[in-house]
Structure 1
Amino acid sequence: MTGASNDGIRLSLSEIDALGKKAARGTGCSWGLAEEAGKSARWLAGYGLAGPESLAALFTAPRCCGCTSDSAAPLCPIAAGAELSDSAEDIAHGTDVRLGDVAQPLLLLAQASRSANALQVILTLRWSGFSATCFPDGLSIETGDGVGDAIGRNVVCSSANAAINETDLRAGAGSRLVLRSAYETLNRLAGKTYAPATDTSRNSGAGAGTKDND
């Protein structure tokens, strides 16, 4: 951990990745989806966007994915992002992918942008009040009113022909200030992945064991 303030906890991008992955595992996500969750939070944080905060909000609200049984809830963006990644080549060749309603859709933006980079294509992601263009090496948000939406309505990903301009965002490096409430939520969920201490683990070297070294 890099540091703390009254407003939040400053974490490196690698710490955000690791915390997001552990928190996802704590909610029951598979290893594959947990890794995607951590990467998405890190990617967004690298662009100065609310990646860890979106992930914390996702894990404390209804969502539809293999980790939950709430089929009436909006789609999980991590699970939907895997589908988007699988369909990226079709999207690049002109096939729109319509995902419907997606919880915390900002996390889906990370998935779309990583697909644009992997395929070296330009993709757009849209929902009500939001539109962004994903370049192989950058991002442009054209309509950002819905950037913080808890649910993205009628989410669509499609190919685009666009030129890079001065409004494009580039990923930064270093650390990001994470809202304290989001950090505490993710840290609490991550704690569910830790095995409780036992006499056997303590005696085998985990912790101080039963010996008093003072």
Structure 2
Amino acid sequence: MSLSLNEAESLAKTAARGAGLSWGMAEEAAKATRWLAVRGVDACDPLVALLFRHDEEGHAQTGPQALGPDWQGAEGWLCPVACGAVLSDLGDEVQFPLTLRRVALPVFLLPFAAQLAKDLGRPLVLSWDGGDALTDGNAFTLHVPPPMSDVTLRLGDPAQAPAACPHHTRTDTDQMILVSLGIYAARTRAPATDQSRLAGAGAGLTDND
């Protein structure tokens, strides 16, 4: 199915919140989803997988335990959105090369790496099992990463520049993926009660339809 970028971003934000992420992290996940969608990557599919992992395994400590050259999570895995937010906060203080251990759905690191590359004025290379990605802040080249992998970030050669990629105004994804996101998003809506109906929600206590 096809979604506008605004629809995809809004659904991603609400679904992430429904899966238990804070509003701040949900906003970051939504922005990353949109960034990827603009560049032709269906991020809704990996987003469902990421939210499922958060929902099943928790999300309290999925960011790096310590900020050195090797990041690890207390839960045994790292959330790419949590790591991306830390990268954004560190900015030019990031130490390269930087290795992130057991990142779930590492494709979501790319939007944050792109912003960091733009801020540094240098391309960044992300390497994972079986491939890598290169971004200069706007464009990127991408070998799709596995669902879980160690990721190494390093500064690229200033002469390296990925080919410009067309920007999209819509994103396509599978209908079942949208159903899954909708289930998470529905958790943010409180069920109606007699009190809420009497206060004006819905049709009151009598359904006249």
- Give the TM interval when normalised to the shorter protein: 0.7 to 0.9
Cα gap change, 1:171 to 1:202, in 2 (>3 Å)? farther
The SS at the match of 1:40 is helix
Which structure 1 residue ranges, 5 or more long, are not aligned?
Answer: 1-8
Q: Deviations over 1:40-90 (max 9, x none)?
A: 11111111113111110111236674277x944421111111122223313
Q: Match of 2:101? A: 100
Q: How far apart are 1:35 and its partner, in Å?
A: 0.5
Q: What residue identity is the alignment partner of 2:97?
A: D
Q: What is the TM-score of this pair, normalised by structure 1?
A: 0.80
Cα gap change, 1:117 to 1:209, in 2 (>3 Å)? farther
Cα gap change, 1:198 to 1:63, in 2 (>3 Å)? closer
Q: What residue identity is the alignment partner of 1:137?
A: N
CA distance in 2, matches of 1:63, 1:122: 34
Q: Match of 1:87? A: 90
**Cα RMSD over matched residues?**
2.5
1:159 to 132, 152, 155: 155
The SS at the match of 2:152 is strand
Residues 126, 133 of structure 2: 8 Å contact kept: yes
Q: How far apart are 1:208 and its partner, in Å?
A: 2.7
1:149 aligned to 2:146? Answer: yes
CA distance in 2, matches of 1:169, 1:71: 38
Q: Match of 2:201? A: 206
2:175 to 175, 180, 192: 180
CA distance in 1, matches of 2:85, 2:57: 15
1:32 to 12, 24, 45: 24
Residues 50, 104 of structure 2: 8 Å contact kept: yes
Residues 124, 153 of structure 2: 8 Å contact kept: yes
The SS at the match of 2:173 is strand
CA distance in 1, matches of 2:145, 2:16: 20
Q: Match of 1:66? A: 60
Aligned length: 197
CA distance in 2, matches of 1:183, 1:169: 29
Which structure 2 residue ranges, 5 or more long, are not aligned?
Answer: 63-72
Cα gap change, 1:113 to 1:148, in 2 (>3 Å)? same
After the TM superposition, which parts of structure 1 deviate over 6 Å for at least 4 consecutive aligned residues? none
CA distance in 2, matches of 1:186, 1:124: 30
Residues 122, 157 of structure 2: 8 Å contact kept: no
CA distance in 2, matches of 1:63, 1:172: 35
Q: Deviations over 1:14-61 (max 9, x none)?
A: 111111111111111111111011111111111111311111011123
Task: Give me the identity figure in percent.
Answer: 37
Q: What is the TM-score of this pair, normalised by structure 2?
A: 0.82
CA distance in 1, matches of 2:25, 2:112: 12
2:78 to 51, 75, 86: 75
